[in-house]
Amino acid sequence: MVTIKSKKEIELMREACRVVALTYKTLEEKIRPGMSTWELDEIAEHTMRSLGAIPAEKGYDIGIKGVPKFPASICVSINDEVIHGIPSKKRFIKEGDIVSIDTVALKDGFNGDAARTFIIGDVPKETKRLVDVTKQAFFEGIKYAKPGNRLGDVCHAIGEYVHSQGFSVVREFQGHGIGREMHEDPGIPNYGKAGRGIRLEPGMTLAIEPMVIQGKPNILELDDGWTIVTEDGSLAAHYENTILITEKEPEILTIL
């Protein structure tokens, strides 16, 4: 069921999303080569808790037997890792890496969700282009995130843009509605057919999240049960915001 948020609920969504935006501001200031991904996790958790929020990914249960609950406050996925990388005291960020972070803050019963890919130092032009295209794909998609349009219009715009730039979208994971639950209906694939899917209505809050691969779209899951990597070893990037459908242009809640 797709939930339509009331005015009061929208204010609470706004606050949870503000925490996420501030968390990324802090991470952007602090991220540097030599730092462990565990340190990044600690920074994010501290920032969220100091703002009265709970890191919603910590303890998240994917519901598959034998897969442990997610142990950290952020997902950190480096280079050919696409999503769901687990922070580690033994994993260090290096010059030339691209580091995708995905995190969710829960505050007063509502969730805010966003992802960013950070470029560490100098990278080849094609790597920067991958990160830029992934971000732009989000903005291409939300051009269609207006009442009366269909969800497929957004999905189609994201997929078409990414493919026009010579990259691939991940097919097995998608964006989602968000609110009291981290993952609500509808599912929002990063490809699709225009004119299909539900009609968008004011009060819907959606997490739209292009996951883009430089090479082939195929992915693999590592033995930890969480980390998703590209099958061909090529780089991947991730960009996500929680948005609010309004009467006019969508509002991006996780950018201040």
Token digits for 117? 């890919």
- Min dist CB 56 to Mg ion, Å, is 10
- Min dist CB 113 to Mg ion, Å, is 4
Q: What is the distance between the alpha carbons of residues 187 and 195, in angstroms, rounded to a whole number?
A: 16
Closest CB to Mg ion among residues 97, 113? 113
Residue in this structure with the two tokens 């890919």, named with its chain if needed: 117
Closest CB to Mg ion among residues 80, 113? 113
- Min dist CB 207 to Mg ion, Å, is 6
- Min dist CB 12 to Mg ion, Å, is 18
Q: What is the distance between the alpha carbons of residues 121 and 134, in angstroms, rounded to a whole number?
A: 19
The amino acid occupying position 6 is S
Q: Is 92 helix (H, G, I), strand (E, B) or coil?
A: strand
Closest CB to Mg ion among residues 6, 41? 41
Token digits for 227? 């980390």
- Min dist CB 75 to Mg ion, Å, is 8
**Helical pair 37-50 and 7-30, crossing angle rounded to 10 deg:** 140
Closest CB to Mg ion among residues 113, 153? 113
Closest CB to Mg ion among residues 100, 214? 100
Q: Which residues pair with 166 in a beta bridge?
A: none
Closest CB to Mg ion among residues 10, 115? 115
Residues ≥6 apart with Cβ < 8 Å to 29:
none
- Min dist CB 111 to Mg ion, Å, is 9
The amino acid occupying position 240 is E
Check: CB of residue 175 under 8 Å from CB of residue 204. no
Token digits for 77? 């996925």
Applying CB under 5 A, the residues found at the interface with Mg ion are: 102, 113, 115, 240
